[in-house]
């Protein structure tokens, strides 16, 4: 199959009438991909756009942008340039931080329901497989890059993933294309470049089809990974279907591999980073803790808590500033450190002025009519509000009297004093 036919077929799989975007770096792969996509879209009319992300990491970055602008102009394809900053202090390394910034820029420009094409090829897949193996990755990492997948509501495709770089070079030369060579690609202090320039050529002298073989292994591992995801989704459905709340009894009834699989799957479903292997083993070892114990374990970007027989997976819970306070009229939207207070508050006598809002500090009481004055702590326990949410509650005072308690996690009132009513203004 010719490369043009490959792109024509990929175009046929995109939603009719919706734009197709090409991530254009200016290198060989993306230059050829955009050229092929432009030919396809002329014969099978479809809106085509290109997006270049300018990372500003090297002196040649402006040259890449200039090349992309000229290519877009020559092909008649609108080009959008996104300039991003790369945070070198995230602990991900420069490559990882640049990738995160690039994908964030792509998500801002490509709308949900649209298609984004990336230009990775078979040699990239072989490198990715080897890198994953050398890092001790599991099935998900060894599966490498999928040829297509849903990504934040967009369709992400890699139509050249099964094509060797040598074939792309021949096709580009046949078309007389020019492209930019990234100077950083020859820096063998970077792991991927070391594999590309030192390891894979050595392997190819012994096993000429090494790139194809490794890419095939990644594809087969991808099939296995898809089956495991199906199994994890079935286990999640049996345990209630909420990836953020897993019943401990159901979780511990699974085999150890399925427990690990389900927790990782639930994290991904919740948009959370998966725990490192050692943290995951520590977490699973704590699932047998007493039902009334509060267990908390964290890792970068997420944390897990066990409370009342349920494993909760969530983003890190940040404490509220204890000295924060705001005046409120009981009706206006109030921005707080815990998020917006969306809800009105009225008194039966019409008094709602002179309200103050602050984080819960402990020791508060409310008068609840026939139930008399009650400790807020006891009310929260009776209502089953988890301890970490209790620390982020907003308490409303009228003078020195507590009249209401708002929970930003559910955007609603969870306690109202006698004579006071909450209004849902969402």
What the block records as the tokens of 124 is 């990239």
Q: Establish whether 72 is an annotated binding residue.
A: no
Q: Can you give the pLDDT at residue 8? A: 94
Comparing C-alpha atoms, which of 63, 56, 41, 49 is closest to residue 109? Answer: 49
Q: What is the mean pLDDT of each run of 10 residues along the chain (426 residues)?
A: 92 93 94 96 94 80 91 95 73 69 88 95 95 92 92 93 95 93 85 93 95 94 95 97 94 94 95 92 80 76 91 90 87 86 80 82 82 84 86 87 87 86 70
Q: Can you give the pLDDT at residue 73? A: 95
Placement of tokens 């279907």 in the chain: 241
What the block records as the tokens of 109 is 């420009």
Contact 55, 86 (CB under 8 A): yes
CA 111/CA 126 separation, integer angstroms: 30
Q: Can you give the pLDDT at residue 91? A: 58
Q: Exposure of 196 by Cβ count < 10 A (0-12 exposed, 13-18 middle, 19+ buried)?
A: buried
Domains of the chain: 3-214 (3.40.50.620), 240-314 (1.20.59.20), 326-423 (no CATH)
Is the pTM value of this prediction over 0.75? yes
Q: Which residues pair with 357 in a beta bridge?
A: 326, 396
Placement of tokens 């970068």 in the chain: 300
Number of CB atoms found within 10 A of residue 199's CB: 16
Kindly provide the residue ranges of all beta strands, DSSP E only, lying in 266-376, ordered along the sequence.
295-299, 302-307, 310-314, 326-328, 334-336, 339-341, 344-347, 355-359, 365-367, 373-375
CA distances from 119 to 49, 235, 348 (A): 14, 35, 64
Q: Can you give the pLDDT at residue 354? A: 78
φ/ψ of residue 417, rounded to 5: -75, 165
Q: Establish whether 254 is an annotated binding residue.
A: no
Classify each residue of 61-99 as buried b or exposed e, where b means 16 or more C-beta atoms within 10 Å of its C-beta: beebbebbbebbeebebebbbbebebeeeeeeeeeebbe
What the block records as the tokens of 40 is 């396809």
Contact 288, 322 (CB under 8 A): no
Q: Establish whether 421 is an annotated binding residue.
A: no
Q: Which residues pair with 301 in a beta bridge?
A: none
Q: Establish whether 343 is an annotated binding residue.
A: no
Q: Can you give the pLDDT at residue 289? A: 60
CA 283/CA 137 separation, integer angstroms: 19
Q: Establish whether 30 is an annotated binding residue.
A: yes
Biggest CA-to-CA distance, the chain: 88
Q: Which residues contact 298 (CB under 8 A, 6 or more apart)?
A: 304, 316
CA 393/CA 100 separation, integer angstroms: 33
Q: Establish whether 63 is an annotated binding residue.
A: no
Q: Can you give the pLDDT at residue 89? A: 59
CA 151/CA 210 separation, integer angstroms: 30
């Amino acid at each position: 199959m010719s490369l043009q036919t490959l792109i024509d077929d990929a175009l046929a799989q995109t939603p009719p009438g919706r734009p197709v975007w090409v991530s254009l770096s200016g290198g060989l792969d993306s230059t050829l991909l955009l050229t092929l996509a432009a030919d396809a879209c002329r014969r099978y009319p479809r809106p085509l756009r290109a997006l270049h992300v300018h990372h500003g990491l090297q002196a040649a970055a402006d040259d890449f942008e200039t090349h992309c602008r000229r290519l877009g102009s020559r092909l008649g394809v609108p080009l959008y340039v996104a300039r991003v900053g790369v945070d070198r202090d995230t602990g991900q390394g420069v490559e990882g931080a640049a990738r995160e910034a690039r994908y964030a820029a792509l998500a801002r420009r490509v709308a949900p329901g649209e298609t984004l094409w990336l230009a990775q090829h078979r040699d990239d897949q072989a490198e990715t497989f080897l890198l994953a193996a050398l890092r001790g990755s599991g099935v998900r990492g060894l599966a490498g890059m999928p040829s297509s997948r849903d990504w934040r509501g967009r369709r992400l495709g890699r139509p050249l993933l099964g094509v060797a770089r040598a074939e792309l070079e021949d096709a580009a030369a046949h078309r007389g294309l020019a492209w930019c060579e990234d100077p950083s690609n020859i820096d063998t202090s970077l792991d991927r470049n070391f594999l590309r320039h030192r390891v894979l050529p050595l392997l190819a002298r012994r096993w000429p089809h090494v790139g194809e073989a490794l890419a095939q292994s990644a594809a087969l591992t991808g099939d296995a990974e898809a089956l495991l995801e199906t199994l994890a989704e079935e286990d999640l459905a049996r345990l209630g279907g909420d990836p953020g709340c897993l019943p401990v009894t159901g979780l511990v009834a699974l085999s150890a591999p399925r427990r690990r699989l389900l927790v990782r799957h639930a994290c991904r479903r919740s948009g959370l980073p998966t725990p490192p292997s050692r943290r995951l083993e520590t977490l699973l070892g704590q699932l047998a803790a007493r039902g009334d114990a509060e267990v908390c374990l964290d890792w970068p970007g997420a944390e897990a808590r066990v409370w009342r027989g349920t494993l909760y997976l969530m983003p890190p819970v940040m404490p509220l500033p204890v000295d924060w306070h705001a005046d409120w009229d009981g009706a206006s939207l109030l921005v707080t450190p815990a998020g917006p207070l969306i809800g009105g508050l009225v008194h039966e006598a019409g008094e709602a002025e002179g309200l103050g809002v602050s984080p819960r500090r402990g020791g508060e009481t409310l008068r609840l009519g026939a139930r008399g004055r009650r400790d807020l702590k006891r009310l929260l326990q009776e209502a089953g509000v988890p301890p970490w949410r209790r620390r982020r509650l907003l308490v409303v005072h009228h003078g020195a009297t507590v009249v209401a308690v708002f929970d930003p996690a559910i955007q609603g009132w969870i306690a109202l004093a006698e004579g006071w009513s909450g209004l849902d203004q969402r």
